[in-house]
């Protein structure tokens, strides 16, 4: 065998060895994620226009760590006037399939909080028995920390008054600690996004935990990788029921 063939064979062996090592490392990481999430009884997903194709019969048959999908949060609105084109059909389907339903608003810094709150209220149309509203805060834009805090609080108060409840704040754990670490905000239920850490679903300072944004659920397609966010709730089904809207909004 010529030298160049030997070099080629050696290169192929090295590449295959590296690929196997990466797969093993990713598998071990996923095992840590699974073991962490498996400790919880109540599992759910959150969805938006990024998951344009959903077969809800298949979703209802799925078991995450042996448990059914008990809740779903769907994107409703964004900023001053944007809405998610899949929201109404997702809401209708979740109700028809008896999955606990909730809605979230994606916060856009720099747009008055009261206008964003009214956008959500106009389109969410949440019912008695639905989960309380969620505010998704992921970026600061050009706002300073204190102004961001005041705007977030204003949205939470307006929407909370409308539905007579305590809305949920969703954000990344590091973003919250750096920009939204305020005692007034800490009174609201916290839904944290925390990925790729064996500590991600531990602790007592959260209500929901989004532990991966690359989950797979039979029946959900995103047109590319078929990813969907997976979540756990820190509590029992009875505790989840306590986080629902108890009366019709005004």
List 230's β-bridge partners, or say none. Answer: 45, 212
The catalytically annotated residue of 138, 150, 183, 241 is 138
Of 203, 209, 191, the C-alpha closest to 37 is: 209
Q: What are phi and psi of 40, to 5 degrees?
A: -110, 150
Q: Is 241 considered catalytic here?
A: no
- DSSP codes, the chain: --HHHHHHHHHHHHHHHHHHHHHHHHHHHHHHHHHHHTT-SEEEEEE-TTS-EE-HHHHHH-EETTEEEEEEEEEEEETTTEE-TTHHHHHHHHHHTT-EEEEEEE--TTS-HHHHHHHHHHHH---TTSBPPEEE----TT--HHHHHHHHHHHHHHHHHHHTS-PEEEEEHHHHHHH---HHHHTS-EEEE--S-TTTT-SSS-SEEEEEEEE--TTEE-SSS--EEEEEESS-HHHHHTTB--S---
User: Which positions are catalytic?
Assistant: 138
């Amino acid at each position: 065998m010529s030298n160049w063939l030997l070099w080629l064979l050696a290169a192929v062996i090295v590449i295959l060895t590296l690929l196997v090592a990466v797969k093993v490392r990713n598998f071990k990481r996923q095992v840590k994620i699974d073991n962490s999430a498996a400790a919880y009884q109540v599992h759910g997903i959150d969805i938006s226009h990024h998951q344009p194709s959903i077969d809800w019969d298949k979703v209802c048959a799925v078991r995450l760590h042996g448990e059914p999908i008990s809740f779903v949060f769907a994107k409703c609105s964004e900023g001053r006037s944007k809405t998610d084109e899949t929201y109404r059909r997702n809401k209708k389907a979740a109700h028809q399939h008896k999955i606990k339903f909730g809605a979230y608003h994606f916060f856009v810094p720099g747009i008055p909080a009261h206008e964003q709150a009214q956008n959500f209220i106009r389109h969410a149309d949440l019912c008695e028995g639905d989960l309380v509203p969620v505010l998704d805060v992921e970026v600061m834009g050009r706002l300073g920390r204190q102004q961001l805090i005041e705007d977030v609080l204003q949205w939470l108060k307006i929407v909370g008054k409308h539905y007579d409840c305590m809305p949920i704040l969703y954000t990344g754990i590091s973003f919250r600690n750096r920009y939204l670490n305020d005692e007034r905000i800490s009174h609201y239920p916290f839904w944290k996004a925390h990925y790729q850490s064996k500590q991600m679903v531990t602790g007592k300072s959260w209500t929901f935990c989004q532990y991966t944004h690359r989950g797979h659920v039979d029946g959900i397609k995103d047109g590319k990788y078929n990813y969907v966010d997976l979540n756990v709730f820190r509590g029992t089904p009875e505790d989840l029921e306590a986080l629902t809207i108890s009366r019709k909004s005004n």
